[in-house]
């Protein structure tokens, strides 16, 4: 993993880029297609991506400017396409921090990144969101007879396809790039140690892992 010294950090700060003109001078001209590809609403291709996507990243921003990104996942097609200008995302059970939902209340601007397993290209959607308790909308999002408490409704301002370079560089979908999850302790163990500052004993680590898996089973929906 790349690291940087305090001296290196100081140098990085001294060379920071803080104007649009300087930024643009460092890069070539924008490809015309990259400008023209932005759509004001979903077209058929965008809808096809959304219908095939089991996973998206939701970016939000607090009223004070603090940014956040949250994963959202379900069986492919879990995002409801209401019309070309509107989509709705079910809010499934989580840890009740409610970071994204609280941010949307104070600042409706959101960004969505739709991923499709095996696709190196992605779909980006930007717009403004609100939280809905509409029973008819929520009932259509039920899984295992469990209805989400809320839906995140996004009014689309722009949508565009994004090229495959990041996924090609990362080899994200390639089997040989997959890493063994056992290289790190379980999530429950790591969080416990982060909070307490005390190493978790092996027997306790097993127990914590089992408890987390049971919590997943009980509260997935």
Burial 8-22 (b: 16+ CB within 10 A, else e): eeeeeeeeeeeeeee
User: Three-state SS across 35-101?
Assistant: HHCCECCCCHHHHHHHHHCCEEEEEEECCCCCEEEEEEECCCCCCEEEECCEEEEEECCCCCCCHHH
DSSP state of 176: G
pLDDT digits (tens, 9 = 90+) for 119-161: 999 999 999 999 999 999 999 999 999 999 999 999 999 999 9
Which is higher by pLDDT, 84 or 31?
84
Residue 19 has what pLDDT?
94
pLDDT at residue 78 greater than cutoff 90: yes
pLDDT confidence tier of residue 3, bands split at 50, 70 and 90: confident
What does residue 10 show for φ and ψ, rounded to 5 degrees?
-60, -45
Higher pLDDT among residues 7 and 30, named by residue: 30
Mean local confidence (pLDDT), 18-40: 91
Residue whose C-alpha is closest to residue 55's, from 219, 184, 173 = 173
| Under 8 Å between Cβ of 186 and 194 | no
Q: Is 3.90.76.10 the CATH number for 32-170?
A: no
Q: Where are the domains of the chain?
A: 32-170, 179-219
Average pLDDT, the chain: 95
Residue 220, pLDDT above cutoff 90: yes
């Amino acid at each position: 993993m790349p690291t940087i010294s305090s001296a290196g950090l100081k140098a990085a700060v001294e060379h920071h880029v803080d104007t649009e003109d300087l930024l643009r001078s460092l890069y070539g001209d924008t490809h015309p297609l990259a400008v023209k590809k932005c759509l004001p609403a979903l077209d058929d291709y965008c809808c096809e991506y959304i219908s095939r996507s089991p996973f998206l990243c939701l970016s939000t921003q607090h009223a004070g400017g603090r940014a956040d990104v949250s994963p959202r996942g379900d069986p492919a097609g879990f995002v409801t396409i209401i019309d070309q200008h509107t989509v709705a995302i079910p809010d499934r059970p989580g840890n009740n921090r409610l970071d994204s939902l609280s941010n949307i209340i104070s600042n409706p601007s959101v960004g969505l990144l739709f991923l499709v397993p095996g696709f190196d290209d992605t779909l980006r959607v930007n717009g403004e969101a609100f939280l809905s308790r509409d029973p008819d909308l929520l009932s259509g999002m039920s899984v295992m007879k469990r209805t989400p408490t809320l839906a995140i409704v996004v009014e689309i301002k722009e949508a565009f396809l994004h090229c495959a370079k990041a996924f090609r560089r990362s080899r994200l979908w390639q089997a040989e790039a997959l890493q063994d999850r056992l290289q790190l302790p379980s999530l429950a163990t790591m969080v416990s140690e982060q909070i307490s500052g005390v190493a978790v004993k092996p027997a306790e680590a097993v127990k914590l892992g089992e408890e987390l898996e049971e919590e997943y089973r009980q509260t997935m929906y």
